[in-house]
Structure 1
């Protein structure tokens, strides 16, 4: 049996196990270990052990639990609610202002968390009921929260980019900086769309009632601005010190986790329940990611040993006679297709052993490609029938928001994401200028 057939058999077996509902790390790891024993006998057992040791020696991986902890501390302690109240008061007099404020809230949460699920939970539990109560169109605001929460995997400290850096062997600091400007561009496009649409159709995003605005004094408004100081303090203590060279990547994550805990303590929100919930959720998410990375490294080692990457490169470039850009576009389309059924982590660990070396062989920058992958994951998150964010929203939304409403809500925001993806593909410097400037100083 040729190595090409073995590689195809491995890939199809893994997809079959995933379709049957098996856990991602179990399906990937099982196929990798069985293939290793089949191909190399007892010596194949060293592959899983070697992957585990490689994982444990990768120092930047310490950022993973620290950033997850930071996000859950902000969520569980209620600091995110204070931030939304600030946006609610200051943006209320503008048509669509609360929806615009929700996007701004999501950007702030993304800059302190790195996971889309945290933004979705905060948006669905805090922002959505308030927006519906204020008479906002339920289809539009459902899309706002789904789109805004997806920013968590692009704006640093993105956990997805940490995983990509681990698997693609790229510096996480550069990946984070590469995600900053595309993430802000996408958030800006979301806000522009909301502002224009609510200007043309004011009933979709009514302003805050005048009598209610009169009840809020200027003193109260300025007092609420203090809610914005907390995330600004956390973001500066974490990212600012890192960019200025005072802290390393891991140290900045430790500073961020400490700052979030101190903020909860100063606000008198830190108690035993908050600490227990934060630690429990942090442990669960971190362990899940660790197992997935371990399985991905083992699977990638077997694929490298088979020479599957070279075979795929030969197939696309020589047999099909495709250009490098055509191959890249096909890759992005395959991510969107897989995103209909899998989450971002599963997609990464399945195709990274194939795509990342191929992208490098085609002459593309792997830092830039990490941003493209992440934006494509954002699009896939919101693509029917089984987009990850669609079902998260269905689980968290109130009864009056149906699954049909959720499906209808995402169309304009997916189009905005596609525009952002095309911009970054056509103008790679949108992603690369900041890491090149910072690391080239």
Structure 2
């Protein structure tokens, strides 16, 4: 059997196991170790152990549990809810103001947690009922929550970008800076869209009634200060990092400590809170560790077979495809895989194939893997929210109030898909949108 056929059998076996419902890390790791034993003999049993040592030598890996813990403790302690109530005061006078405030909350929660699920959970359980009660159109606000939650893996600190950085051997700090401007561009487009829709049809997003905005000054001040805690933690944590005072890992520790301190000062730090937060942090962190380990083992065998070179020869020599056509095909494959898999699973599956290929493409600029990481994250989010089987569509339906049907969710998402596609087009036409900031920022770690 040729090496190309072996690589194809490995890839097909892995997809079969995933479609059959097996755990992602187990399917990938099983195929990797089975192929290694069959190809290289008993000595290949050490492959996984070698990958464990490589995994634990990545110092940036320590940021994963820190940022995940920080996001969960802010959400579980109700501090994130305080932030939304503050936005209610600030934007209540604006037509569509609560939807705009929800997008701002999503941006900040994304920056604190780095996972799209956290933003969607807060938006669906806190923001949606409030906006429905005030007469907002359910299709509009469903799209706002789904679109806003998509910023979770793009705006730093992005947990998925940490994973991509470790697999692609790229600095996590550069990936974070690369995702910042595109993430803010997407957020700005979402806000402009909501404001225009509200101006064109005020019935879609009515102004909050005066009696609901009126409250004693002391209560209003207390609410604003509570909401500012979250914003303050974010700017303090990232400010220390950007100005070179703390490294990447140290910055994550500062964020985790400040989030815990905020819960203590608000009188919400309980045994139940720390227990539930710790369990959720451990669950998510272990999931990422197993995924990375499986991806490293799979990539080692795949690289040894020369699968990357075979793919390069297929696209660039036999098919004679333009480099940009290859990039577009990669993006399409992400959208197709998004029907069945989440972003981390997609990454560990395609990384051994796509990352070496992106290195060899002549796109006309440097730092191609940094740029490709941003494209990957945006495309994954499009896959998540694209009907009929987008991963986040069904999660949204499970979390949203019963008034919002699956049909409403399907209808709501298309304007946001278009805006995300526009962002991708801008990044392909002007790569410096993503690359200018990481090229001009110098940070520790």
TM-score normalised by the shorter chain: which range applies?
A: over 0.9
Where does 1:32-431 land on structure 2 (aligned, <5 Å)? 32-213=32-213, 215-217=214-216, 220-364=219-363, 365-431=368-434
Q: Report the CA distance shift for 1:218/1:199 in structure 2 as closer, same or farther (over 3 A).
A: farther
Q: Deviations over 1:306-361 (max 9, x none)?
A: 00000000000011110111101110111011111110001000001100110011
Q: Deviations over 1:36-92 (max 9, x none)?
A: 011111122122111111111111000000000000000000001110001111111
Q: Secondary structure at the match of 1:322?
A: coil
Q: Secondary structure at the match of 1:342?
A: coil
Q: Secondary structure at the match of 2:112?
A: coil
Aligned length: 440
Q: Secondary structure at the match of 1:207?
A: coil
Q: How far off is 1:223 after superposition?
A: 3.6
Residues 120, 149 of structure 1: 8 Å contact kept: yes
- Aligned partner of 1:434 in structure 2 is 437
The gaps in structure 1 that reach 5 residues or longer are: none
Residues 178, 371 of structure 1: 8 Å contact kept: yes
Q: How far off is 1:220 after superposition?
A: 4.2
Moved more, 254-263 or 359-368: 359-368
Q: Deviations over 1:233-276 (max 9, x none)?
A: 21122111011001111100001000100011111111111111
Q: Secondary structure at the match of 2:359?
A: helix
Q: 1:211 & 1:61 partners in 2: Cα distance?
A: 49
Q: Secondary structure at the match of 2:301?
A: helix
The gaps in structure 2 that reach 5 residues or longer are: none
Residues 237, 259 of structure 1: 8 Å contact kept: no
Q: 2:237 & 2:427 partners in 1: Cα distance?
A: 26
Q: Secondary structure at the match of 1:279?
A: helix
Q: 2:185 & 2:332 partners in 1: Cα distance?
A: 22
Residues 198, 204 of structure 2: 8 Å contact kept: yes
TM-score under structure 1 length normalisation: 0.98
Residues 237, 252 of structure 1: 8 Å contact kept: no
- Aligned partner of 1:21 in structure 2 is 21
Q: How far off is 1:385 after superposition?
A: 2.3
Q: How far off is 1:148 after superposition?
A: 0.6
Q: How far off is 1:440 after superposition?
A: 9.2
Q: How far off is 1:363 after superposition?
A: 3.5
Q: Secondary structure at the match of 1:111?
A: helix
TM-score under structure 2 length normalisation: 0.97
Residues 182, 423 of structure 2: 8 Å contact kept: yes
